[in-house]
Each structure stands twice: as C-alpha cells, then as structure tokens.
Amino acid sequence: MKLVDRFLQYVKFDTQSDELTNLTPSTPGQMIFARHLKAELENLGLKDVTLDDNGYLMATLPSNLDGGAKVSTVGFIAHLDTSPDMSGRHVSPRIVENYDGGDIELNASSGIVLSPNDFPELSKYRGQALIVTDGSTLLGADDKAGVAEIISAMEYLMAHPEIKHGDIRIAFNPDEEIGQGAHKFDVAHFGADFAYTMDGGEVGELEYENFNAAVAKVTFKGRNVHPGYAKHKMINSMRIANQFIIMLPRWETPEHTEGYEGFYHLVGMEGSVENTVLTYIIRDHDRDRFERRKKELEHLARKINNEFPGCCTLEIRDQYYNMREKIEPVMYIIDIAQQAMRDAGVEPKVQPIRGGTDGAQLSFKGLPCPNIFAGGLNFHGRYEFVPIPSMEKAMMTIVEIARIVGTGRYK
C-alpha cells in the first residue's frame, strides 16, 4: 500500500482520546485501530507483533546484516489517538493537487477557508500536493501521519534488502493527546536502545528539548451572607481568586511568550461566593526557573492566607520534565537524525518543543527518545493539513536512520 493511501485509510478511524474515562485506552476506537494495524503488520511479515490489553502495539523488523552483526536496536514510535479538541469522526480528507498559493475552500456551505492570510506557513508549500479537511473535523495527521510513515518505511526496507539495517522496533501507543501515552509503555519489552517519536510538525523539525510541566489547583474558601447584611461578614471566594490571578506577572502567559520563555497558564475557573477553584498549568524549559515558578505560587498562596486566614489551599503535581537532560549524554542520536534528514533531502530545524511529548516521559523511563517531524501543520482543528512531500520526506528519514544505525559507525 502506498504511503498516502495508507494515511487516507487511517484517518477514517475515530480515535479521539478522552481524559474523563480513566481507561487505557481511553476510548474504544483506539483499540479498533490498533487491531487493524496489528493485522496489517502481520500481513506485511513483521515479527514479534504484540498488542496488549492497554492498546500498546509493538513489532520488529529483524536485522538483515551480513553474518548476524550486532548494532544498536533503534525504535520508531507514533500514537494512535487524535486530540479531543475537535471531532475526529467521519473525517473526509481531500487532496489539493499543485497548490497555487491562494485560499483553499474547505467547506463552501459554512464559508470555511484555509487561507495564507491566516496561516502564512501555507506559502511554503506552493506547488505541492496538500491533504486537507472538509472543514467539519480535524484531519488526524497528528499522529496518523507518523503511523503511516513508520509502517511505510518498514515496507520500503523490506522491499529494498540492499539497505542494511539492524533490528528495528516499532510501537504505536494510545492516549498521547491526554498525556497518558507513555504511562503504561513497557520499555523493557520494547527493547530498543534508543528511539524516535514521529510526532513533530512541519518538515525538518527535530526536537529534544521540551517544557518541564506541572499542573496547579488553587482552591479558595469563602463565606456567603445575605448581600444586604454582608458588611464585614461576607468573604467572596471569587473576588479573592481574582486577586490571586492579577498577582501573577501578566506577561508570563502563553499569549506573550515564545521560544524558551516559560509561563503560567490559567486553564480553568469555576466558582461561587463560597468556593472557587483555579487550575493552572506551569511550563518552563529551565528546571531551576520551573521550580521557582512553583515556589511563586506557594508564596502567593501564603500572601492570600495572611489576609484571609485559611482561605487558600494549593495542590501542585508535576507532569513531565525536559528530556534534554536525558538526551545530552547520548547526543549521537541527534547527530544520526540530522544526518538522516540531510540524506533524505531535508534541512534539520532543531528547536525546543513548547509542549510535551511521549518521548519526554519515555526518556525518563530509560528510553532516550527525541521527536522528529511527521509533516502536518495546524494540529487539533479544522485547518489542519499535511503536505504529501513532507510525509514522504519523513518516511525516508526513518529509512535513512535505519541505514545509518545499521553501519554501526555513529558514536
């Protein structure tokens, strides 16, 4: 099956994850998709194909090195789920051939247009074939492009035995979009020395730095009294919560930061006079600054409690850490990826992830795992698209990584 046909088939599976179910996988569609992929991998002739009860699918392309020579086992990983931010049901993609650089009408009846005026990155792909949505769903290139690229690369290597490689492990996991993708990933069973997630964005992206991340829940207890008789008696928890919000630096928010700049992000607010809860996510690439951000929330909670004794409680839970500290001791795996991209005709763009990745959690579980582009753009919404040449370059980057690792000459 061709790469594009494979991708167009995969996006038809409804695999949105759902953080409210407390199940793994969080939605049944992911297991349906995993079973389909399991059968496909078996039919292709891959070995050691396993699918566990939690939806983790793994397989091996065995080494074809002469004389059974031993080199590192490299892995490639992508996730089964799509974002819960927008519907992934009844995805109806179409191909825009030879994109002319203008507006792309996604849905005429709803007036939905993918325009370079709103998404200037479109101009980079003039003359290329693009896969777009019909304007009513997301596309699912995050990360079904990665799934298709990995499987297509394995098929390519099997069809080209002249490309020598060691053992290659592949894995597809559920629930990345809700931060659970690596939680039940069996690193020991996977058995790779290092791996790459195929889950990045536009062509050339290579990422081995991500945010340190935490979530904070700030609860304010108030006291309700009839407003006509409330003087010196009422304690309005919503007003105190507002006081807390404005005590944080206004410029250290997502809408005012970029690159390596961290932030506090208020993602939820629910309140009444008697009880108000704020939910923040805390992000910073630098571990020391990350810890100081958490300390700042603790400091502000104490200030609130000095003015309103016992009013404020704070719970902070770390989510993941910057994988850089785990990648730096094995930087040759970044060198491999950069060389593979160049060999595939791609100029590497090393940049930090302003977010998280399964690779970060896997790196801290003992599997160094940077992130490589899968080719898509505008993830998680109706304006998502993927240039077909970018998918082809991603597939060939996988092939080139396998070839380089197969030489054994990279450390």
If asked whether residues 71 and 170 sit together in one domain, one would say yes
Cα–Cα–Cα angle for 154, 157, 161, rounded to 5 degrees:
150
Q: Examine residue 143 and say whether the peptide bond preceding it is cis (omega within 30 degrees of 0).
A: yes
Q: Which helix (H) or strand (E) holds 74?
A: strand 74-79
If asked whether residues 184 and 50 sit together in one domain, one would say yes
Percentage of the chain with pLDDT > 90? 95
Backbone phi, psi, residue 283, to 5°: -140, 140
Give residue-wise pLDDT tens across range 240-252: 999 999 999 999 9
Q: Does the pLDDT of residue 68 top 90, yes or no?
A: no
Q: Does the pLDDT of residue 1 top 80, yes or no?
A: no
CATH number of 148's domain: 3.40.630.10
Q: Catalytic annotation on 199?
A: no
Q: Catalytic annotation on 186?
A: no
User: What per-residue confidence (pLDDT) applies to 219?
Assistant: 98
Q: Which helix (H) or strand (E) holds 242?
A: helix 237-247
Quote the domain boundaries for residue 338.
3-209+323-407
User: What per-residue confidence (pLDDT) applies to 355?
Assistant: 83
Where does a domain end: 319, 340, 357? 319
If asked whether residues 106 and 201 sit together in one domain, one would say yes
Distance CA(237)–CA(219), nearest Å, equals 9
Q: Which helix (H) or strand (E) holds 78?
A: strand 74-79
Query: Is the distance from CB of 26 to CB of 84 less than 8 angstroms?
Result: no
User: What per-residue confidence (pLDDT) applies to 256?
Assistant: 97
Count of alpha carbons within 13 Å of 203, Cβ hemisphere only?
24
Give residue-wise pLDDT tens across range 308-360: 999 999 999 998 899 999 999 999 999 999 999 999 999 999 999 888 889 99
Q: pLDDT-derived band of residue 67, with 50, 70 and 90 as boundaries? A: confident
If asked whether residues 120 and 41 sit together in one domain, one would say yes
Where does a domain end: 319, 351, 386? 319
Where does a domain end: 319, 343, 376? 319
Give residue-wise pLDDT tens across range 263-316: 999 999 999 999 999 999 999 999 999 999 999 999 999 999 999 999 999 999
In the structure encoding, which two tokens stand for residue 95, read together? 């191909």
If asked whether residues 183 and 216 sit together in one domain, one would say no
Q: Does the pLDDT of residue 410 top 90, yes or no?
A: no
If asked whether residues 303 and 368 sit together in one domain, one would say no
Query: Is the distance from CB of 407 to CB of 65 less than 8 angstroms?
Result: no
If asked whether residues 304 and 253 sit together in one domain, one would say yes
In the structure encoding, which two tokens stand for residue 386, read together? 């993927």
Q: What is the mean pLDDT of residues 37-52?
A: 98
If asked whether residues 33 and 162 sit together in one domain, one would say yes
Backbone phi, psi, residue 277, to 5°: -125, 125
Percentage of the chain with pLDDT > 70? 100
- The total domain count for the chain is 2
Q: What Cα–Cα distance (Å) separates residue 329 from each residue in 166, 353, 367?
A: 22, 19, 12
CATH number of 222's domain: 3.30.70.360
If asked whether residues 288 and 389 sit together in one domain, one would say no
If asked whether residues 63 and 144 sit together in one domain, one would say yes
Cα–Cα–Cα angle for 85, 17, 270, rounded to 5 degrees:
55
Catalytic residue among 14, 40, 81, 142: 81
Q: Which residues pair with 51 in a beta bridge?
A: 57
If asked whether residues 313 and 388 sit together in one domain, one would say no
Backbone phi, psi, residue 352, to 5°: -75, 150
Distance CA(20)–CA(379), nearest Å, equals 22
User: What per-residue confidence (pLDDT) applies to 195?
Assistant: 98
The helix/strand/coil state of 214 is strand
Q: What is the mean pLDDT of residues 29-56?
A: 98
Catalytic residue among 14, 143, 167, 176: 176
**CA-derived radius of gyration, the chain:** 24
If asked whether residues 98 and 79 sit together in one domain, one would say yes
Q: What is the mean pLDDT of residues 56-83?
A: 96
